[in-house]
Amino acid sequence: MKEQVRHQAICPKCGTVYHDRPAISREDNATLICPDCGTREALMTLGIDPEEQEQIIQAIHRCRTGV
Ligand SMILES: [Zn+2]
């Protein structure tokens, strides 16, 4: 039994339905957002431009699913 029933939530930032553990938005330290948006915000604070952010997120997705 590998499958686990997890809480489903909709990200208020991008509208994606996600099942992973949410991230907390850095904007107000309260809003729960999807892990991807959490990563985007983290990359943004590092000064990484949006195009590169997407590439990094794509790479993370490949790591998660590319077994
Ligand atoms: Zn999101």
- Taking only the tens place, the pLDDT of each residue in 8-59 is 999 999 999 999 899 999 999 999 999 999 999 999 999 999 999 999 999 9
What spacing in Å lies between the alpha carbon of 46 and ligand 1's midpoint?
18
Distance CA 67, CA 52 (A): 24
What spacing in Å lies between the alpha carbon of 14 and ligand 1's midpoint?
4
What's this model's pTM, rounded to 2 decimal places? 0.79
Place of tokens 């330290």: 29
What is the H or E stretch that residue 43 is in?
Answer: helix 35-45
Distance CA 54, CA 39 (A): 10
What spacing in Å lies between the alpha carbon of 41 and ligand 1's midpoint?
10
Scanning the chain, the segments in alpha helix (DSSP H) are: 35-45, 50-65
pLDDT of residue 1 exceeding 60, the answer is no
Q: What is the pLDDT of residue 6?
A: 64
Q: What is the pLDDT of residue 66?
A: 65
Please, which pLDDT band fits residue 64 given cuts at 50, 70 and 90? confident
